[in-house]
Chain A
Amino acid sequence: EAQVTQNPRYLITVTGKKLTVTCSQNMNHEYMSWYRQDPGLGLRQIYYSMNVEVTDKGDVPEGYKVSRKEKRNFPLILESPSPNQTSLYFCASSFLKGIGGTSPVNEQYFGPGTRLTVT
Chain B
Amino acid sequence: KQEVTQIPAALSVPEGENLVLNCSFTDSAIYNLQWFRQDPGKGLTSLLLIQSSQREQTSGRLNASLDKSSGRSTLYIAASQPGDSATYLCAVGEAGTALIFGKGTTLSVSS
Question: Using Cβ atoms and an 8 Å threshold, which residues of chain A touch B52?
Answer: 103
Residue B63 lies at the interface, judged by CB distance under 8 Å to chain A: no
**Max count, chain B CB within 10 A of own CB: residue among A33, A42, A88:** A42
Chain A contact residues, majority secondary structure: strand
- Distance to closest chain A CB from B40 (angstroms): 11
Chain A 80-99 interface residues, beta-carbon cutoff 8 Å to B = 88, 90, 92, 94, 96, 99
Q: Give the number of residues in B that approach A within 8 Å (Cβ atoms).
A: 25
Q: Given A99-B51, A105-B31, decide whether A42 and B103 contact each other with a Cβ distance below 8 A.
A: yes
5 A-B pairs besides A42-B101, A88-B41, A115-B41 with CB distance below 8 A are A33-B97, A45-B99, A90-B43, A99-B51, A106-B97
Chain A: residues with CB nearer than 8 A to chain B? 31, 33, 40-43, 45, 48, 50, 58, 88, 90, 92, 94, 96, 99, 102-113, 115
Complex A-B: 27 CB contacts under 8 Å: A33-B98, A40-B103, A41-B103, A42-B89, A42-B103, A43-B91, A43-B101, A45-B98, A48-B98, A58-B98, A88-B41, A92-B99, A102-B51, A104-B31, A105-B49, A106-B95, A106-B97, A107-B32, A107-B46, A107-B49, A107-B93, A108-B99, A110-B36, A110-B44, A112-B42, A112-B43, A113-B44
